[in-house]
């Protein structure tokens, strides 16, 4: 009898707590996706999302499998979504609007930039003190 009462009480408490947690709800949105190129996933790409009205910037980098996620974004918009990576053209998507609880998926395929980088010369001072 005691076990049944304890089990009933535990079940009731679990139900009550889960309802309260759900009732508080989500007040933000998120963006996730995968960054790829012609060969597959691009790890280490910089992902920047800017909320245009406030100038708030959210940033992350893609993981080893090219995936990224940006949680806790302000609801509304518009947002600008930008992906950059050395040796590739930027990927930009504008006019994104997010609603409460939305998990917006944006998969970006970036293209190689065939422009050659300029030569860089490094000159050493070989022990000279520079003021």
Tell me, yes or no, whether 104 lies in a domain.
Answer: yes
pLDDT of 13 over the 90 cut: no
pTM above 0.85, yes or no: no
Angle formed at CA 65 by CA 64 and CA 70, multiple of 5 degrees:
90
Q: How many domains does the chain have?
A: 1
Q: Give φ, ψ of 15 to 5 degrees.
A: -65, -45
User: Is residue 63 included in any domain, yes or no?
Assistant: yes
Residue 1 inside a domain? The answer is: no
Convert the pLDDT of each residue in 38-61 to its tens digit: 999 999 999 999 999 999 999 999
Q: What is the CATH number of the domain that holds 55?
A: 2.60.40.1120
Is residue 36 situated within a structural domain?
yes
In DSSP notation, 34-82 reads EEEETTEE-TT-EEEEEETTTTEEEEEE--TTSEEEEEEEPSEEEEEEE
Backbone angles phi, psi at 81, to 5 degrees: -110, 125
Count other Cβ atoms within 10 Å, centred on residue 3. 7
List, for residues 89-120, the tens digit of each pLDDT value: 999 999 999 999 999 999 999 999 987 667 77
For residue 82, being part of any structural domain is answered with yes
Cβ 77 vs Cβ 95: under 8 Å: yes
Strand 103-105 and strand 29-37: the pairing is parallel
Does a structural domain hold residue 84? yes
Q: Which domain, by its residues, includes 40?
A: 26-109
Q: Please report whether residue 66 resides in a domain.
A: yes
* pLDDT in the model for residue 20: 47
């Amino acid at each position: 009898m005691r076990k049944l009462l304890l089990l009933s009480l535990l079940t009731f408490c679990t139900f009550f707590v889960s309802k309260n947690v759900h009732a508080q709800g989500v007040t933000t949105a998120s963006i996730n996706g995968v960054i790829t190129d012609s060969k597959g996933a691009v790890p280490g790409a910089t992902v920047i999302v800017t909320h245009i009205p406030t100038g708030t910037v959210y940033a992350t980098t893609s993981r080893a499998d090219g995936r990224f996620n940006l949680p806790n974004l302000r609801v509304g918009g518009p947002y600008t979504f930008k992906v950059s990576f050395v040796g590739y053209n930027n990927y930009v998507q504008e006019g994104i609007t997010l609603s409460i609880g939305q998990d917006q998926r944006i998969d970006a395929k970036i293209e190689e930039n065939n422009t050659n980088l300029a030569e860089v010369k490094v000159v050493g001072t070989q022990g000279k003190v520079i003021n």
